């Protein structure tokens, strides 16, 4: 009899815990804006946010609680801003108030950036239960799940394909609606960041020290170039391919054949991914500096020193560049001079990259918060 009572009590306790756990509620609809922030860098080739101005964004609008640290870059549509965290939850917040509007639990921590396409949000998990999944927010069901091994790369996609690598060095191109694998390639080292896609070519780096170029349609290897040091950054691409290396160097290579054009030496490891505009390249280094370089020859135009290492990828707009740092601060800089416009200090390091959507800048911090900044003052934001 005592054993039966014990089982009943255990069952009731488990039911109580489950009833307190947050649950996902299916979205009735998802509004997608033409300029939504859908994925890492919000571009396939690392190009800057054309037509976006952010120099007047200097006020904290809100900050929202996460229940765990987040390395994830957010994504945003008219319906929500979403960010992953190390507690395995994907959090959805209201754009204006910062109120949590939904939450979804995966089977393993989310440490990298999700990606959105219409009503589907894509996320990768690891290191325990490893998969890439597409979740339909209307039905609450997966459109596919593909086994991957500890994905440390943001998810990027064009109209039909997702391109992603994992810790085994496997690089995969797959159908983003059904998960069918179009092609894959095995590199000799882990892939720790996203590729860049430009003019039918896919460029991706590996910890084996090589930068690879593939035909986007067939997956044929077009060329590879050994940079002599592990590549942990996503490339950016136009007629050249720009990429940072772990030894502190930044390289530009010809996109058609991989031949070197120029290199630039920083004073620390480079884990920050470059962003380019028509004339310049913007990138951070673990020497605590944020650099603006001439795309043609790699000459330094300006640099700005922070108080911490810079692993994150910059948000580059028409008039300003925003970078986050291991010192827990974000720095809004004048794009032409590198002069400081605005800074804000969070309560821990910032490893994620900032994004822009509808006049707001969003960034997550290891202090377990998602921050929203805008032109509005905190008082006007509450009205």
Classify residue 254: in a domain, yes or no: yes
The count of domains in the chain is 1
C-alpha to C-alpha distance for 67 and 54, rounded to whole angstroms: 29
pLDDT tens-digit map of 273-311: 999 999 999 999 999 999 999 999 999 999 999 999 999
Classify residue 337: in a domain, yes or no: yes
Classify residue 32: in a domain, yes or no: no
pLDDT at residue 34, as a whole number: 80
Question: 118: alpha, beta or left, given left = phi > 0 and alpha = psi -120 to 50?
Answer: left
CB distance 48 to 277 below 8 Å: yes
Nearest to 351 by CA among 308, 317, 321: 308
C-alpha to C-alpha distance for 49 and 41, rounded to whole angstroms: 9
pLDDT at residue 128, as a whole number: 60
C-alpha to C-alpha distance for 137 and 157, rounded to whole angstroms: 18
pLDDT at residue 69, as a whole number: 93
C-alpha to C-alpha distance for 38 and 75, rounded to whole angstroms: 5
Instruction: Residue 87: count other Cβ atoms within 10 Å of its Cβ.
Output: 16
C-alpha to C-alpha distance for 86 and 108, rounded to whole angstroms: 8
CB distance 209 to 181 below 8 Å: no
Lowest-confidence region among 20-24, 232-236, 244-248 = 20-24
Q: pTM of the predicted model, to two decimals?
A: 0.91
- Chain mean pLDDT for the chain: 91
Classify residue 3: in a domain, yes or no: no
- What CATH number is associated with residue 248? 2.130.10.10
pLDDT tens-digit map of 58-97: 999 999 999 999 989 999 999 999 999 999 999 999 999 9
Q: Which residues pair with 283 in a beta bridge?
A: 291
Classify residue 144: in a domain, yes or no: yes
pLDDT at residue 1, as a whole number: 52
Instruction: Tell me which residue has tokens 């998990």.
Output: 125
The two tokens of residue 207 are: 């910890």
Q: How confident is the model at residue 382 (pLDDT cuts 50, 70, 90)?
A: very low
C-alpha to C-alpha distance for 368 and 348, rounded to whole angstroms: 9
pLDDT at residue 20, as a whole number: 47
Asked if residue 3 has pLDDT above 70, the reply is no
Nearest to 174 by CA among 255, 76, 166: 166
Indicate the DSSP class of residue 20: H
The helix or strand, by DSSP H or E, that contains position 19, with its residue range, turns out to be helix 2-20
Classify residue 26: in a domain, yes or no: no
Domain that holds residue 154: 41-382
Classify residue 234: in a domain, yes or no: yes
Classify residue 283: in a domain, yes or no: yes
CB distance 210 to 225 below 8 Å: yes
Q: How confident is the model at residue 6 (pLDDT cuts 50, 70, 90)?
A: very low
pLDDT tens-digit map of 34-53: 889 999 999 999 999 999 99
pLDDT tens-digit map of 101-147: 999 998 888 867 899 999 999 998 766 668 899 999 999 999 999 88
C-alpha to C-alpha distance for 163 and 203, rounded to whole angstroms: 10
């Amino acid at each position: 009899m005592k054993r039966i009572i014990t089982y009943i009590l255990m069952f009731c306790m488990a039911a109580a815990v489950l009833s307190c756990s947050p649950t996902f509620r299916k979205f009735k609809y998802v509004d997608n804006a033409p300029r939504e922030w859908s994925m890492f860098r919000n571009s396939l080739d690392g190009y800057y946010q054309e037509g976006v101005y952010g120099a007047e964004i200097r006020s904290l609008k809100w900050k929202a609680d996460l229940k765990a640290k987040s390395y994830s870059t957010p994504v945003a549509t008219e319906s929500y801003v979403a960010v992953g965290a190390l507690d395995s939850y994907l959090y959805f917040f209201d754009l204006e108030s910062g109120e949590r509007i939904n939450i979804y639990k995966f089977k393993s921590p989310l440490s990298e950036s999700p990606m959105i396409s219409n009503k589907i949000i894509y996320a990768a998990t690891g290191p325990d239960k490893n998969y890439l999944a597409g979740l339909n927010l209307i039905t609450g069901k997966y459109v596919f799940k593909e086994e991957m091994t500890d994905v440390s790369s943001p998810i990027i996609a064009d109209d039909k394909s997702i391109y992603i690598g994992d810790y085994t060095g496997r690089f995969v191109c797959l159908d983003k609606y059904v998960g069918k694998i179009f092609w894959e390639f095995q590199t000799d080292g882990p892939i720790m960041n996203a590729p860049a896609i430009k003019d039918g070519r896919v460029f991706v780096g590996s910890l084996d020290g090589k930068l690879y170029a593939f035909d986007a349609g067939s997956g044929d290897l077009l060329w590879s170039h050994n940079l002599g040091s592990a590549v942990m950054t996503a490339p950016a691409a136009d007629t050249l391919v720009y990429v940072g290396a772990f030894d502190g160097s930044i390289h530009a290579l010809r996109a058609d054949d991989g031949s070197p054009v120029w290199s630039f030496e920083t004073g620390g490891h480079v884990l920050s991914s470059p962003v380019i505009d028509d004339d310049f390249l913007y990138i951070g280094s673990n020497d605590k500096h944020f650099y603006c370089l001439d795309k043609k020859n790699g000459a330094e135009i300006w640099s700005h020193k922070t108080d911490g290492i810079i692993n994150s990828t910059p948000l580059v707009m028409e008039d300003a560049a925003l970078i986050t740092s291991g010192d827990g601060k974000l720095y809004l800089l004048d794009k032409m001079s590198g002069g400081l416009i605005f800074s804000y200090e969070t309560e821990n390091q910032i490893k994620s990259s900032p994004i822009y959507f509808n006049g707001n800048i969003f960034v997550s911090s290891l202090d377990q918060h998602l921050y929203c900044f805008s032109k509005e003052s905190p008082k006007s934001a509450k009205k």
